[in-house]
Amino acid sequence: MALKIFIVDDAMPIVERLTGLLSGNNNIKIIGIANNALKAFEYISKSNPDVVILDIHMPDGSGIDILRSIKNTRPSTKVIMLTNYTETVYQTVCKLEGADYFLDKSIEFEKVLEICRDLSNKVKEESN
């Protein structure tokens, strides 16, 4: 059973880079992409992902609002905040709202794959 991932980021180069990074793994499946908050709210509730990779800044809202919504409706969904807004205040708010991981887009990008592989292995173990 593949780990289902949903990506929320308004920067297409980031989305393409994430897609390239994750798509080489058979145990990981990208089930959706949203480039704004409105689409993210709508599609995440319909697609039931295991993991959401989420930026903080969106053209029509905040990734923190999306995080809050995910954790209120589906607390088991893992959320990886991947952002350039790495100030302590953002880290603190995201952790308080339930973010499972907080990564600096400019220096920790590759950690997304490592985290997703670990989560994928846990999903496989739980399904056996």
Taking the CA atoms of 75, 92, 11 and 2 in sequence, report the sign of the dihedral they define: negative
Tokens 């739980």 locate to: 126
Residue 26: inside a domain, yes or no?
A: yes
At 33, give phi and psi (nearest 5°).
Answer: -140, 135
Kindly tell me the burial class for residue 100, based on how many C-beta atoms sit within 10 Å of its own C-beta (0-12, 13-18, 19 or more): middle
Residue 91: inside a domain, yes or no?
A: yes
Residue 120: inside a domain, yes or no?
A: no
For 15, 54, 68, 70, 116, the CA distances from 3, given in Å and listed in that order, are 18, 16, 22, 17, 8
Task: Look at residue 7 in the predicted model and tell me its pLDDT.
Answer: 97
Residue 117: inside a domain, yes or no?
A: no
Query: pTM for the full model?
Result: 0.95
The total domain count for the chain is 1
Question: In terms of residue numbers, what domain contains 76?
Answer: 4-8+10-109
CATH code at position 45: 3.40.50.2300
Task: Look at residue 26 in the predicted model and tell me its pLDDT.
Answer: 85
Task: Look at residue 123 in the predicted model and tell me its pLDDT.
Answer: 73
Bridge partners of 51, per DSSP, are 5, 78
Residue 118: inside a domain, yes or no?
A: no
Kindly tell me the burial class for residue 52, based on how many C-beta atoms sit within 10 Å of its own C-beta (0-12, 13-18, 19 or more): buried
Give the chain's residues under pLDDT 70: 124, 127-128
Task: Look at residue 128 in the predicted model and tell me its pLDDT.
Answer: 62
